Amino acid sequence: MRSAGHLLLALVLVFLIGPFVIICIAGLSGGETLAFPPEGLSLRWVAKVFTVDSFRAAFWLSITLALGSTAVALALGIPAAYALERYNPPGAEVVRNIVTAPIVVPGIIVGLALLRHLVIPLGIPVPVALVIGHTALLIPYAVRVVSGSLVNLRPDIEEAAVMLGASRLQAFFKVVLPNIRAGIMAAFIIGFITSFNQVPVSLFLTGPGVTTLPIDMMFYMEFNYDPSVAALSGLLALMSLGVVMVAEKLLGLSRYV
């Protein structure tokens, strides 16, 4: 039985890690086309990634978009999570289900709905549309992760601050927020990575001259089939993995997700 369990675990690891390993090795190919196994090993395509203008522009757009949309999602999600956990208003479960909807509904439907019923009728600029779309996707993560932190924070600590003369607002900023900062940072990291790697919603909301990095990589492969996209994919995967590992080390990310 133990041997069967070890074999199953090995198969699961191969299934999860295998594509990542293949992409990284393909990105180190010395050949002219994307292939696996590679035709020799070289760092030439890794170096080329940093010379493609569209990659650089799309990277900084994705970084800015991820930071902005995550910040907006937290600004909306933290008060929502606090109200749901501390006051349990009527219909709280319905609100939780509505907030979770963007996670359950496929991203391609969310992107199409935003484009058809919000962006086009109101003539919203592409950058603003991207922020709205990504924020809608990230609010559920903000609410759920921050709610997990609030569950572990005893309400009587906040009540003690109020009894000692602090207003509710002061107690929130001086007692609640400092005690759930690890959960807020965890929500920020999850939101940032989710936004940065987002494809379906961004595919509908990008426009001429305003393209996120994952979408730009897709467009690049329509005309070029060299290993540079594999090299860039490996770099992005390593970046995401590094962020998660640092977050787990410093914050114990697994406690909140």
Asked if 195 contacts 3 with a C-beta cutoff of 8 angstroms, the reply is no
- Phi/psi at 29 (nearest 5 deg)? -65, 145
Q: Is 33 domain-assigned?
A: no
> Domain holding 187: CATH number?
1.10.3720.10
Question: Strand, helix or coil at 87?
Answer: coil
| Owner of token pair 């990008």 | 206
Residue 66 Cα to chain centre, angstroms: 8
pLDDT in tens, 45-78: 888 888 888 888 889 999 999 999 999 999 999 9
Q: Is 69 domain-assigned?
A: yes
Q: Is 17 domain-assigned?
A: no
Q: Is 166 domain-assigned?
A: yes
For residue 138, give its domain range: 52-255
Q: Is 215 domain-assigned?
A: yes
Question: Residue 30 pLDDT > 60, yes or no?
Answer: yes
What does pLDDT average to over the chain? 81
Question: Residue 129 pLDDT > 70, yes or no?
Answer: yes
| Rg of the chain, C-alpha, whole Å | 22
Q: Is 76 domain-assigned?
A: yes
- Supply the pLDDT for residue 254: 54
Which of residues 225 and 250 earns the better pLDDT score?
A: 225
Q: Is 171 domain-assigned?
A: yes
User: Does the predicted model carry a pTM greater than 0.85?
Assistant: no
What is the domain count for the chain? Answer: 1
Residue 70 Cα to chain centre, angstroms: 8
Residue 66's nearest CA partner among 213, 205, 248 is 213
- Supply the pLDDT for residue 66: 92
Asked if 103 contacts 142 with a C-beta cutoff of 8 angstroms, the reply is no
